[in-house]
Amino acid sequence: MTRCLRRQALFVVSQGEGLPWQRSHLMRCHRCAERYRAMVGASELAARILREGPLPERVPQPRSVLRPWPVAVLAATGLALALVWRGVPGGWPPQATVMEEADEDAGLSLAHVSEFAFAADEFDAPSDADGTYLEAALDGAWPCEREDGTPDSECGDEF
């Protein structure tokens, strides 16, 4: 058999095992002999360095201590604690009073905004009983309306 040996076969031969034809092939084939020497040589060099060389030392790397999962866990725990704390009736701080005051403020301010935005006594919207205003508006014009939006009584005849 003249086929070159696979890496596994070279390893088996290096362990003192392997079939006779594999060993004889290794004697004849320069390519396989070269591969065998590279495999065994690397292993022997590694063994020698680990056996006799100076021992490795641990060097801490500048790496961020904050990792995503502990941060997420801490955030979730904090949120849960905050919810539990605020949700306990009669707990500290007296949240019921605070909430009532807040609601009152919110109601007042909404009433003021509504009053200001939808004041009824500023001007009367033009009546559009016959649909003229709507029709003109759809055509892109604003009939009977001045620049400030108030109705113009003098232009009624044109439509």
Contacts with other proteins, residue ranges (CB under 8 A): 7-8, 11-12, 14-15, 38-39, 41-47, 49-51, 53-61, 63
CB of 24 to other proteins, least distance (A): 22
Q: Number of C-alpha atoms within 13 angstroms, CB side, residue 4?
A: 10
CB-nearer residue toward other proteins: 5 or 144: 5
CB of 62 to other proteins, least distance (A): 9
Which residue, among 117, 141, 144, 139, has the nearest Cα to 128 in the 3D structure? 144
CB of 51 to other proteins, least distance (A): 5
The reply to whether omega before 93 is within 30° of 0 (cis) is yes
Rounded Cα distance between 141 and 155, Å, is 13
CB-nearer residue toward other proteins: 47 or 84: 47
CB-nearer residue toward other proteins: 28 or 58: 58
CB of 37 to other proteins, least distance (A): 10
Q: Which long-range contacts (CB under 8 A, 24 or more apart) does 4-7 make?
A: 4/29, 4/31, 4/32, 5/29, 5/32, 5/35, 5/36, 7/35, 7/39
100 phi, psi to nearest 5 deg = -65, -45
CB-nearer residue toward other proteins: 33 or 39: 39
CB of 36 to other proteins, least distance (A): 11
CB-nearer residue toward other proteins: 53 or 93: 53
